[in-house]
Amino acid sequence: MAVACSERGHTFYSKGHNNLMTLPSLKKVALGLTFSALACNASAGPVPAQRAAELQQQPNIVIIFTDDMGWGDVGYHGFDDIKTPNIDKLAANGAHFPQAYVSESVCGPSRSGMLTGVYQQRMGIYGNSSENHIPHDQPLAMEIVKDQGYATAVIGKWHLGDPTGKPNERGADFFYGFLGGSHDYFRSQTVDTGKLLLAPIYRNDEVVPPIQEQNGYLTEMFTDEAVGFIERSVKKDKSFFLYLAHLAVHHPWQVPESYVERLKDLPVKEGIAGEERRHFAGMVLALDDSIGQVMDTLKEQGVYDNTLIVFMSDNGTPAGQGFAQPRRKKRNETTMSSPGPFNGFKGTNYEGGIRVPFAMQWPGVIPAGLKYEPMVSALDIVPTIASLFEGTNTGIFPFDGTNLLPYLLGEKPADAIPHETLYWRRNEEYAIRDGDWKLTFNRSHGPQTIRLFNMAKDPGEWDDLVSREPGKAQELKDKFDAWEAGLPVNRLSHRPTNRNFDYDKGHRVNVKEFNRNTP
């Protein structure tokens, strides 16, 4: 059974014990920072002196970024109609974050924010555009660690915009994958004919033979390349950074039948909904196998204990899913990916579009079984990595994310949290989460009004409080507009008609009047 014990407002889980464990502190280790940690498992104990010496070396870093994986698509969130044993182990052996957010609800902007630690809107990135541009004087994660002598690899999906440059131009020693936003899992071409799903697969700057000629499946091919990169790096005695950006579990819904066959006893609904969930679960299982192979390779190569592993999805569940019509789903109608108990989908700033699975493991440093409750962001990943090095170049924009390690290791005061406020803006949609309150507007996903929710009492966003809490709604609207007033205009699409461009001149959008005048 799992026994929970609390410290500093966080929850630790110790499997297989029937009594509460004490929380011995981990020995401080030097990595340019001083760390102390708390563990629930009595066997964790202090870190031996030789272990501390090992941890003074640069840790290897693996970021596994999945695609369109909903909050309800991992077992460790309590769902039994999906099988993710390796992802669950990763969460159990480190920390997981039930209130983890991405910086946007679609792929390209979310990746831009994660890989820089900066709100992508500061760079003029608001949507999925081939013209998105992360400036060269705003370093990506690969460029930051490359300056520290790391071997670096990008494997999988890029999708950062043509002006950003290709992976080998942005800090990757090795690249294997495709440049766009989606792809067929079984087929590719060797020339770019404009067919997105059949775009060439690259090894660095060279196009590889078509997937179908290799009898390949894209998830497995990315896994093989990740394993090979780890093995080569260890052989060269190099600290390594791997950004494994899987396309899974993004559409198209393709998976070898062998994975689905392994799930024949999966408890799913009757009928087409259940069969569609089982098929999707096969795609997830292939992804989970991949993560298991990466973990096994780290162990086989003797570097598992000195590797920081981050697992996260780029956004939440897509509304468009399934083989049977209607494919565009509504709340509680999903048949493949699931937002769990939350409202909304990919492309919205409701929780289903922006709250995602997130886990982080670093054996001997991050306490195993830590369920960290306060809200965190994908923007925190790069600042956490950069904190390991002195004098990191953060670029023209300072980090909007926060180094999570002091929070996870108990070095912050009990009431300290990484973020009091988070912001979102894409096209007409926007949101602000401020403490337990969330204000959001989702024009294309209705209703056409500004809405207010109390996330502590109503994380499912059922009860709109905007008319009962007008003062709080106006406070959050003003705070959002003040933040947005400092952002550049979106050059790549029509300016949002609901942006308060004159906030800094004293203009205020009255929430009550806006909603009253909305049809």
Active-site residue list: 107, 159
Q: From start to end of 279-412, where are the E strands?
A: 307-313, 358-361, 370-371, 376-377
- 3-state class (DSSP) for residue 103: coil
Pairing mode, if any, of strands 240-245 and 60-66?
parallel
Name the β-bridge partners of 105: none
- Residue pair 242/230 in contact by the 8 Å Cβ criterion: yes
Long-range contacts of 296-299 (CB under 8 A, 24+ apart): 297/226, 297/227, 297/230, 297/231, 298/60, 298/62, 298/230
CA–CA dist 230, 243 (Å, integer): 11
**Distance (Å, whole) CA 293 – CA 226:** 9
Q: What share of the chain is helix, strand, coil (3-state, %, to 5)?
A: 30, 15, 55
- For residues 80 and 277, is the Cβ–Cβ distance under 8 A? no
Phi, psi dihedral angles at 77 (to 5 degrees): -85, 5
Q: Which residues pair with 37 in a beta bridge?
A: 26
3-state secondary structure 257-299: HHHHHCCCCCCCCCCHHHHHHHHHHHHHHHHHHHHHHHHHHHH
- In order of 91, 174, 256, 326, 417, the CA distances from 358 in angstroms are 8, 25, 27, 30, 17
Q: 183 with 253: CB under 8 angstroms?
A: no
Alpha carbon distance 213, 211 (integer Å): 5
